[in-house]
Structure 1
């Protein structure tokens, strides 16, 4: 979202962003028009933010926007359904991912029932729904009744970003494997650890925080991988960029469509690195990664398939270079942020023109 707001600011488009902010989290985008609403932790992945409805109403009153751009999933976005000021505006709903109705947690499955009712109301009210890939749209049951109002616009990245000193890899003679993401159930990092255990001369740097950290640390110990796997926790953007530049291979082993697109794949491709990702049916990952051309796609949840891909790339530096170069070319051709930002701006223009606001 920060890239979109930065692009809009450079393009002369005035925008105001309302986001949640957890205590003790550093503000990293102070130059952008961002209003932060305090959140006191999370419940079922939802920020606990009792001040949000008041902040939302105040922002609408003070800013008087011409258009509302809602990013989903976010239950707090349902406040717009109950606001006369919000309902008077055209809405763009940015659909980042479906909320899985078959979530492993029974609490999440139970909570989804009422959530789905408001979710559909929000989608019916949207003038345009932005989806990151045609593959994801085609597989989404939630969006099936609204496809005539969907616009496919991929995620994108700026061409470059600052980097700091590279991370300390334990053994420079081994294949340097990188994984980045929230340590969550659907990311498949357990599968990745199992694959690393099956593959000699591979070391893994795992960047991220999340609810699975303790379980992953226990698995590393059980597999005897403490000398080949390092979990860094949270790193800032320049440190992460340096890790991309220093690695040999990037891996995203996600298990299901909760991984709707895989923005980290673009980050690796921007750095010219070969990627290994899961061939999850209905996920945009299979559009981002062209199998055998810009990376390798493997069966989700299959450590043997993943280990085979890692072993191949370990033995074939020429293939790593070929895939990485092709991935960088694909990033340049399809995922630079300028055309992405312009496509979203065009959606705004069409809606404002049709609503008589320009």
Structure 2
């Protein structure tokens, strides 16, 4: 039985896209490999926890620099785990540049195979992008395999292009059990529809940060008639700014963070799934795939090099418009609002695309194959 060490920035129950994928990888290999996990704790203390029957070492974080966590104990924990556990394979979730430096040093002393799970390029932090360029080259040169979440991202990333022969596409996945609809969810969805009788219900999901593009959805709303109702879930550093920008627009409801029941009820009740992300920081769009799973047509922007336009196909599962073009985005929403046949056709295609490509069953098989073949 192969021994696999997983290195993620944070880990479940910490909530985040990378963390969810890291857990999906662990669960895919649970009955196949002996595993350990090392990550940061979101507090200052070191912790050792057992999650899904797997030991997780969480190193206390004393500070963050450009959203990158720092720990005084991480180096020792990593060294001890590699020395004692002696992994056959290390799966490293990138970006995590400060840990990458420690890992590269440790890998000089052991023969473990390295799989780099490349979630996204560092784009926004210009200093970090330049500073860590030599490290990225070393990391990708040392890697035996590199996992990308879409062919679009490989084509659009200069880093992945440099090691294209090592790259394997494994799209992110939806856990069908988590998406299950209960009678309580159906009841709540019915209430939402009743509250918005004769309105086109639109839902947008995600953290309120720049690359999610919610400001463009708020601007698009100003071009829509009062027959629309737009729910924007989540919170983030731009929440206050978005509230201010939407002031006086009664079409928009900010829900804040909501539980799974309310989220699934909104997805079930809505007519259109709005996904206004604007940069490659949105490498895939798992929330987009979840909306599509419920047979909802999507409205997206064109993002060169991002997997968003791989998940939702223009003219097949939804409508894709010019990046940041608020007028086109609003027009796409109006078009879908007026044409129920088109909505239903795109929605049906959207669900089929998810069922055919983005379920945990396909994901698990591909993860097992790469571990077997390395």
Mapped contact 1:68–1:89 kept (Cα < 8 A): yes
Which residue number corresponds to residue 285 of structure 1? 308
The structure-2 alpha-carbon separation of the partners of 1:343 and 1:194, relative to structure 1 and needing over 3 Å to count, comes to same
The structure-2 alpha-carbon separation of the partners of 1:43 and 1:347, relative to structure 1 and needing over 3 Å to count, comes to same
Deviation, 1:217, is 1.6
CA deviations on 1:205-226 (whole Å, 9 max, x unpaired) are 21222222222122112xx22x
Mapping 1:47-86, distance limit 5 Å: 47-75=69-97, 76-84=99-107
Which residue number corresponds to residue 319 of structure 1? 342
The structure-2 alpha-carbon separation of the partners of 1:47 and 1:302, relative to structure 1 and needing over 3 Å to count, comes to same
Deviation, 1:297, is 0.8
Which residue number corresponds to residue 14 of structure 1? 34
Mapped contact 1:196–1:203 kept (Cα < 8 A): no
The structure-2 alpha-carbon separation of the partners of 1:295 and 1:80, relative to structure 1 and needing over 3 Å to count, comes to same
The structure-2 alpha-carbon separation of the partners of 1:239 and 1:121, relative to structure 1 and needing over 3 Å to count, comes to farther
Mapped contact 1:156–1:337 kept (Cα < 8 A): yes
In 2, the alpha carbon distance for the partners of 1:238 and 1:41 equals 34
Mapped contact 1:195–1:307 kept (Cα < 8 A): yes
In 1, the alpha carbon distance for the partners of 2:138 and 2:118 equals 14
Mapping 1:150-299, distance limit 5 Å: 150-161=167-178, 162=180, 165=185, 166=188, 169=192, 171-200=196-225, 201-221=227-247, 224-225=248-249, 227-299=250-322
Mapped contact 2:37–2:57 kept (Cα < 8 A): yes
Which residue number corresponds to residue 126 of structure 1? 143
SS state at 2:229 partner: strand
Moved more, 132-141 or 168-177: 168-177
Mapped contact 1:68–1:86 kept (Cα < 8 A): no
Q: CA RMSD in A?
A: 2.5
In 1, the alpha carbon distance for the partners of 2:129 and 2:242 equals 27
Deviation, 1:73, is 0.9
Which residue number corresponds to residue 16 of structure 2? none
In 1, the alpha carbon distance for the partners of 2:49 and 2:217 equals 31
Q: TM-score, normalised by structure 2?
A: 0.83
Q: Does 1:4 align with 2:30?
A: no
In 2, the alpha carbon distance for the partners of 1:195 and 1:28 equals 45
Deviation, 1:91, is 0.2
Which residue number corresponds to residue 92 of structure 1? 115
Which residue number corresponds to residue 355 of structure 1? none
In 2, the alpha carbon distance for the partners of 1:245 and 1:21 equals 35
SS state at 1:68 partner: strand
In 2, the alpha carbon distance for the partners of 1:45 and 1:266 equals 26
SS state at 2:71 partner: coil
Moved more, 41-50 or 27-36: 27-36
Mapped contact 1:2–1:29 kept (Cα < 8 A): no
* Structure 2: gaps spanning 5 or more residues: 1-21
Which residue number corresponds to residue 131 of structure 2? 114
The structure-2 alpha-carbon separation of the partners of 1:138 and 1:36, relative to structure 1 and needing over 3 Å to count, comes to same
In 2, the alpha carbon distance for the partners of 1:276 and 1:289 equals 9
In 1, the alpha carbon distance for the partners of 2:282 and 2:267 equals 20
Which residue number corresponds to residue 303 of structure 1? 326
